[in-house]
Amino acid sequence: MNNKYKVVLAIIIFAGGWIFGSSNNEAPVITSSVGGASYEGGFESEVTVGAVPHRSAAGSIHIVSPGDSIQAAVEAAQPGDTIQVMPGTYSETVYIDKDDIHLVGVIQNGARATLDGLGKLNDAILYSGNNIIIENFRITQYKGNGIMGQAGNNFEIRNNVIVDTGIYGIFPQLGTNGLVEHNVVSGIEDAAIYIGMSDNIHVAYNEVFDSVAGIEIENSRHAIVEYNNAHHNTGGILAFVTPGLPIKTTEDVIIRNNFVSDNNTPNFGAPGSIVSGIPAGTGILVMAADDVIIEGNIITNNKTAGIIINDHSFAPTITMDVQSDPNADRTMILDNVMLNNGYDTIPEVVAVALTELHIGLVDIVHVGPSNGSCIINRHRYRTVGIGDYSECGFTNTDSIDSYLLAGGAQPRVIASSERGEIAYLGVCAGCHSYTGRLIGPSVQVIQAMYAGNPQGLATYINAPIKKRENFPEMPAQNYLDPETQLAVAKYMLQVNN
């Protein structure tokens, strides 16, 4: 037998092992995606339009024109007022620490009110009040956050264009009942849209691209992510648990009807940060999150895989937390269109694939233990590691429109004794986790440095100086009053997970 025939024979044997060795030799279970049962789990949904309760009376309108300060208007405003910002360029940090303010950019002939950080300022808009609306701005060249919510409930962040603003584009942290829609966010070193430690969230009709993570649902519950376009990021849409944060779970997330394509941008996250571990070419990632439904998405051209489901031990940049369940349980994959994913995947996925004699494209890969996961029409995808997935008992989530709360959540009222804790949860935990590196060093490292010296810590956060190579700069927390700075310093020095 000449060599040519040996090669052909080897291929036939290999292909035979692949076909007969996998479970795909049984007749596929074909489920019609028309009709069928809807998911019956999840948050008891209440249909609403918007997350901020309607005002019963119109407050005053404050108009800000170029040359004026937006912050001065915020300070003059009463709860119930609206601030309208005329087109033009404003270079400032706006901090809203009162309730019921609507901050609205006026768009005239396509010209927007632009917040420009000039590559020097840290944050564009921070809010800690309840019932806040922020819409129509263009935000660019900040180093920290575009729009960050710090423990405010009931918020709407809509129709903003955010370009190249450092670490997080839109980042509501520790908020209940919020809507993030119709924003265009690009060029972000961590997450374009980052929902952190929040509940009852709706993220829809956003376009996110050229960022490390497109949309991130992190340590949050009852979230719907739909009709977004996540393309040309390192990872498109992610639902996961970051260990070492005070809230330990991500669960009840519906990711549906999104475009998730070409997320192959090389990872440019700060080395050592959690997102720096996302392999370029990740479409949707579910890590240690439970009850995640993936339905109706168009997932194409993501070179590592279309959908990756894994536990914490698979992630190179994670420090484990004994209080966080590391596994992704009850992932539910309904009908999606998946094409040309996993064409140039990572060695870790190749290794798992080889145990199933799978070669070639990978639409879906599950690594690590999992309980209660299910899928329909699995024959449509190239799959690895989902042999223990059962057939889902439902085909759609049509009965669920929204996880928002009718009438809104109770506004958060912060007693002065809680100021340190809430600032820690609402601000610091966005970048510091207890156990490992998030954006900044771990809280354990900080505790070792500042033991017995809360005043020293408070002085640092008021005006941080650059200390570590390979870390971004820490944004100054000088918008917090001195008592809150000291309270949060004391709180940070005594947390134990």
- Under the binding rule (CB under 6 A), the answer on residue 474 touching ligand HEC is yes
- Under the binding rule (CB under 6 A), the answer on residue 273 touching ligand HEC is no
Nearer to ligand HEC, 191 or 364 (CB): 191
Q: Which of 132, 305, 488, 493 binds ligand HEC (CB under 6 A)?
A: 488
Nearer to ligand HEC, 58 or 465 (CB): 465
Nearer to ligand HEC, 95 or 314 (CB): 95
- Under the binding rule (CB under 6 A), the answer on residue 269 touching ligand HEC is no
Stretch that binds ligand HEC, among 40-48, 293-301, 309-317, 422-430 (CB under 6 A): 422-430
Q: How far is the CB of 277 from ligand HEC (least distance, A)?
A: 17
Q: How far is the CB of 152 from ligand HEC (least distance, A)?
A: 15
Nearer to ligand HEC, 129 or 441 (CB): 441
- Under the binding rule (CB under 6 A), the answer on residue 487 touching ligand HEC is no
Nearer to ligand HEC, 259 or 450 (CB): 450
Nearer to ligand HEC, 76 or 449 (CB): 449
Q: How far is the CB of 388 from ligand HEC (least distance, A)?
A: 39
CB within 8 A of 402, min separation 6: which ones? 45, 46, 47, 48, 202, 224
DSSP code at position 18: H
Q: Which of 51, 217, 439, 487 binds ligand HEC (CB under 6 A)?
A: 439
Q: Which of 102, 256, 312, 432 binds ligand HEC (CB under 6 A)?
A: 432
Q: How far is the CB of 294 from ligand HEC (least distance, A)?
A: 30
Residue 451 CB neighbour total at 10 angstroms = 10
- Under the binding rule (CB under 6 A), the answer on residue 124 touching ligand HEC is no
Q: How far is the CB of 332 from ligand HEC (least distance, A)?
A: 33
Q: How far is the CB of 172 from ligand HEC (least distance, A)?
A: 13
Burial of 397 (0-12, 13-18, 19+ CB in 10 A): buried
Site residues for ligand HEC, 132-151, by CB under 6 A, read 144
Stretch that binds ligand HEC, among 351-359, 372-380, 392-400, 427-435 (CB under 6 A): 427-435
Do the Cβ atoms of 87 and 110 come closer than 8 Å? no
Q: Which residues of 191-214 are buried (b: 16+ CB within 10 A; e: fewer)?
A: bbbbbbbbbbbbbbebbbbbbbbb
Q: How far is the CB of 105 from ligand HEC (least distance, A)?
A: 24
Contact mark string toward ligand HEC, 440..469, x via CB under 6 A: xx----x--xx------x--xx----xxx-
Q: Which of 196, 430, 436, 454 binds ligand HEC (CB under 6 A)?
A: 430
Residue 272 to residue 455: CA distance in whole angstroms: 29
Backbone angles phi, psi at 153, to 5 degrees: -95, 155
Residue 463 to residue 451: CA distance in whole angstroms: 19
Residue 400 to residue 397: CA distance in whole angstroms: 6
Burial of 350 (0-12, 13-18, 19+ CB in 10 A): middle
Site residues for ligand HEC, 157-216, by CB under 6 A, read 167
Q: How far is the CB of 191 from ligand HEC (least distance, A)?
A: 12
Query: Which strands sit side by side in the sheet containing 337-339, from one edge to the other?
Result: 88-90, 113-116, 138-140, 161-163, 184-186, 207-209, 229-231, 259-261, 298-300, 337-339
Secondary structure (H, E, C), 45-65: CCCCCCCCCCCCCCCCEEEEC
Judged by DSSP in three states, 194 sits in strand
Q: How far is the CB of 14 from ligand HEC (least distance, A)?
A: 49
Stretch that binds ligand HEC, among 33-41, 78-86, 376-384, 473-481 (CB under 6 A): 473-481
The length of the chain in residues reads 497
Query: Applying CB under 6 A, what is the total number of residues that bind ligand HEC?
Result: 29
Integer CA distances (angstroms), 408 to 54, 108, 111, 169, 415, in order? 10, 31, 32, 24, 21
Q: Which residue has the tokens 């609403």?
A: 48
CB within 8 A of 212, min separation 6: which ones? 188, 189, 190, 191, 233, 234, 235, 265, 267, 268, 269, 275, 276, 278
Which residues in this chain contact ligand HEC in the complex, by CB under 6 A? 144, 167, 423, 427-428, 430-432, 439-441, 446, 449-450, 457, 460-461, 466-468, 471-475, 477, 488-489, 492
